Amino acid sequence: MFCRYCGSHIPDDSLFCAKCGKRLGPRENPRVTKIVQTLRLKTPYPYFALLFTLFIAWTIISRPTHADYSNLKWSFEVDKKLDLPQENLFAQALSLVVENNGAVAVREIPIELSARIEPPKRADVEADFLGRKLLILQQGHSLPLTVVLAGELLPGAKKRILLNGSIMAEPPFKVTYEVREEDRQPVLTSYVVERE
C-alpha cells in the first residue's frame, strides 16, 4: 500500500503514514459524521435528501395559481396605423385594454399573444409588447408569446397596454392578432388587419 498524500510505501494495515504523518483512514467530514450520528441516519449524505425534499416543496408551493379570467373584459383599440404597401410593411399602434368587472383585485395576469395569416403565406409579424420586440409569426408560422401583465387591477379599473404590431407581407392578406388565456383556451379578444 502507498500513502495517498506523499506516495511512500507503507504496511497495508497502517492508519497513519510513517513519513508524512497524515491519517490514512476513510475520508470523513466531521460535521457530516456528527449530523449522521445525531439524526441516526443510514446515509453519510443527508444534505441531498434534505435539499431534494425542499426543492419538491418549493416547486409545489411556488407554482402560480391559475388566473381568474371570468370577470375580465378584453378589447383592442386602434391608436394609429401606417401602411407602406411599396415596402410590404403594415404597422399598427394598438392598445390592449383589460377591465376588471369583478369584486376582487386581480394580480399577475398571464396571457398569450399570437398571430395568424390567411391565406397562408411567407410573412412576418412583429409585436412590440411591454418594451420588447418579438416575432409572433415567422415565415407564416405562429410563434405565440406568453407574457404576464404585472401589477394589480382593482375592481372597476381599466388597464391599457400599448402593443405595436408590424406586418411584413405581400397583400392580399388577413392577419388576426389573438389574445388567449395562458393555457391556450378560448380567445379573449382579437383584432383583424386586412389588406387587399
Q: DSSP characters for 19-67?
A: TT--B-S----HHHHHHHHHHT-SSS-HHHHHHHHHHHHHHHHTSPPPP
Q: How far apart are CA 191 and CA 180, in angstroms?
A: 12
- Statement: 72-195 belongs to CATH 2.60.40.10: yes
The cell numbers describing 120, all together, are 397562408
- Which band of pLDDT confidence, cut at 50, 70 and 90, is reported for residue 28? low
Domains in the chain: boundaries: 1-63, 72-195
Q: How far apart are CA 164 and CA 168, in angstroms?
A: 13
Model confidence pLDDT, tens digit, residues 110-138: 888 889 999 999 899 998 877 778 888 88
Model confidence pLDDT, tens digit, residues 15-27: 888 888 888 766 6
